[in-house]
């Protein structure tokens, strides 16, 4: 049963610390998405990649957030330095390249920045 995996599932850190979240997309999927979910803003698209290249990162605060795909089996989202307002659940999703294709979501990383 192919699934998107995310690590860690929960992260508590202090303001100013670096946070790295990891995602393993489903094998064969060439598109990876990063979302942030909060009560106030709902589900926000931060960035997405196709074939490991960033296609859209307009939703991501550039000064502190960065997203990469070092290889086809790993996507990372990094926050440096972290701030309390970054507290949220971060979801990774993977899929195929088309606008008509389903996205498969991971279980999320719950980030709390104190």
Partner 1 sequence: AQSVTQPDIHITVSEGASLELRCNYSYGATPYLFWYVQSPGQGLQLLLKYFSGDTLVQGIKGFEAEFKRSQSSFNLRKPSVHWSDAAEYFCAVGVHEGRNQFYFGTGTSLTVIP
Q: Which of 24, 88, 106, 113 binds partner 1 (CB under 8 A)?
A: 106
Q: For partner 1, give the closer residue by CB, 75 or 93.
A: 93
- Distance of closest approach, residue 99 Cβ to partner 1, in angstroms: 4
- Contacting partner 1 within 14-43 (CB under 8 A): 33, 42-43
- Please say whether the beta carbons of 93 and 37 come within 8 A: no
3-state secondary structure of 52: coil
Cα–Cα distance between 50 and 75 in angstroms, integer?
11
Cα–Cα distance between 49 and 52 in angstroms, integer?
5
Choices 11-19, 61-69, 71-79, 90-98; region in contact with partner 1 by CB under 8 A: 90-98
Q: With binding defined as CB under 8 A, does residue 45 bind partner 1?
A: yes
Tell which residue, 88, 92, 91, has the closest CA to residue 13. Answer: 88
Q: For partner 1, give the closer residue by CB, 12 or 43.
A: 43
Cα–Cα distance between 66 and 56 in angstroms, integer?
12
Q: Which residues bind partner 1 (CB under 8 A)?
A: 4, 33, 42-43, 45, 48, 55-56, 91, 93, 97-108
């Amino acid at each position: 049963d192919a699934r998107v995996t995310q690590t860690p599932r929960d992260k508590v850190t202090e303001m100013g610390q670096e946070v790295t979240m990891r995602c393993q997309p489903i094998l064969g999927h060439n598109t990876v998405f990063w979302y942030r979910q909060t009560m106030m803003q709902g589900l926000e698209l931060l960035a997405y990649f196709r074939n490991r290249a960033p296609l859209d990162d307009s939703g991501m605060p550039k000064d502190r957030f960065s997203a990469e795909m070092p290889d086809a089996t790993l996507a990372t989202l990094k926050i440096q330095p972290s701030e309390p307002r970054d507290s949220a659940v971060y979801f990774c999703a993977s899929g195929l390249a088309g606008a008509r294709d389903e996205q498969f979501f991971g279980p999320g990383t719950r980030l709390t920045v104190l």
